[in-house]
Amino acid sequence: MEFISQHPVLVVSLVKIALTLFVVMTALAYLTWFERKVVARMQSRWGPYYVGAHGLLQPLADGVKFLFKEDVTPPSSDIVTYLLAPFLALVLALTAIALIPIGPPDVTVLGQPVFAVSNVSIGLIFLFSITSLGVYGVALAGWSSNSKYPLMGGLRSSAQMISYEVSLTLSVVGVLLLAGTLNLSDIVSGPNGQTGYWLHFIPKWNVFPQIVGFLCYITAAIAETNRVPFDLPEAETELVAGFHTEYSSFKFAMFFMAEYANMITVSCLATILFFGGWLSPFGGGEWEKFIPVLIFGALAVYCLYDIATELQSIIHKLQFTIVVGLFLALAAVCFFFPQYAMPPFWFILKIGIFMFFYVWARGTLPRFRYDQLMSFGWKLLLPVSLANLVVTAVVWLVMHP
């Protein structure tokens, strides 16, 4: 006990890290489920259904499958880099998340802020520098497999990432001008952050003044994460599976998780930069805690209805009762500890919307051709984001003489 009181920094940090890792890993797993479900609905299918109620245990099954598959290492591959690549990818992806604050910095336990693993003064730049290293994972994977398609995939992805990183960074600078800081939590709730309202009802989120920047950002972000419609590095129709063709079992899983972790990261960043992070759109009154309570309550009710009517097997019913309990627990937490629960609630809600957007894009959009990709990135996206930056700067100067 007194160890805790003596080293609050160490303890709280460790706890935070562990918690984040656990949450993120779970989220990654269930994102796959979410994605498959949504895409299935778009294609009017059921999606995973039988492994667990509504396929709730599907991710678990996948994990097990990945773990116990045979791990093939191509003999002609460059072994060191071949092993290094997936680790690099996943580690960097997870590290990036550690910089994301999901709540106000002034909420503390033992005098330590709880809502961010580390609150760096120039968090944004660090975030970008870490994500910029993400290229290595893909590129090295492509090169070290020492076979045609992965090499092409690696080449494509590195070129693509370099190209879109520029626009990504530029599109954010506009927000930086408005916020006047590089610290992520200051960007949200700093002196000239995103708290407050225009005309008393439009929340002061950067997305409204920076709509162009936001569009550039989200486009570049999708490209950075190699998602549809920019998933050329793993275009199965052309390159089998692109850079991770030669990867099997858990190494492949690492790439997989890295990709989803990156998605989460960029979504978090988008939320923080453009959508007021953890701020609620209603000004954060005391009554707001009823919103999540109602939502979770409704979900619980729906699950109960499901148990009653839909689900046949007793196991499924049991599982769903657990889910119901979970929802009720969440509702309770939101009701009794709003100051700890509300910010993450809004934050995660927003991220959820972004995730849905990702899946939606995947479900609807066709893939670019490579030259289209490049010319789009360099000839459209870059100039637009530059123009946005210039305009923002000029307007800012005019408004702050």
Partner 1 sequence: MIAPLIVFFACAILAVLGAILLIIVREPIHSALSLVVVMVSLAILYLLLGAPFVAAVQILVYAGAIMVLFVFVIMLLNAGEEERTDWSKIAKWIGLPLGFVLLLEIAHWLFHSEPGTAVANGVAAPPPASTFALSTALFRQYLLPFEATSILILIAILGALVLARKDQ
Residues of this chain that interact with partner 1 (CB under 8 A) are: 78, 80-81, 84, 120-122, 125-126, 128-130, 132-133, 135-136, 139-140, 142-143, 151, 154-155, 158-159, 161-162, 165, 182
When the beta carbons of 182 and 215 are compared against partner 1, the nearer one is 182
- Name the minimum Å distance from CB 197 to partner 1: 28
76/240 Cα distance (integer angstroms): 19
| In contact, 127 and 224? CB cutoff 8 Å | no
**Burial (CB count within 10 angstroms: exposed 0-12, middle 13-18, buried 19+), residue 191:** exposed
When the beta carbons of 142 and 292 are compared against partner 1, the nearer one is 142
- Would you call 112 helix, strand, or coil by DSSP? strand
- Name the minimum Å distance from CB 88 to partner 1: 10
Amino acid at 227: R
When the beta carbons of 181 and 194 are compared against partner 1, the nearer one is 181
When the beta carbons of 58 and 169 are compared against partner 1, the nearer one is 169
User: What is the token pair recorded at 371?
Assistant: 């030259």
When the beta carbons of 93 and 323 are compared against partner 1, the nearer one is 93
- Name the minimum Å distance from CB 12 to partner 1: 18
- Name the minimum Å distance from CB 28 to partner 1: 24
- Name the minimum Å distance from CB 179 to partner 1: 13
Cis (ω within 30 of 0) for the bond into 229? yes
- Name the minimum Å distance from CB 133 to partner 1: 6
Report in angstroms the alpha-carbon separations of 97 from 102, 137, 260, 267.
10, 17, 11, 10
Instruction: Report phi then psi at 202, rounded to 5.
Output: -90, 115
When the beta carbons of 258 and 351 are compared against partner 1, the nearer one is 258
Q: Cβ neighbours of residue 399 under 8 Å, at least 6 residues apart? A: none
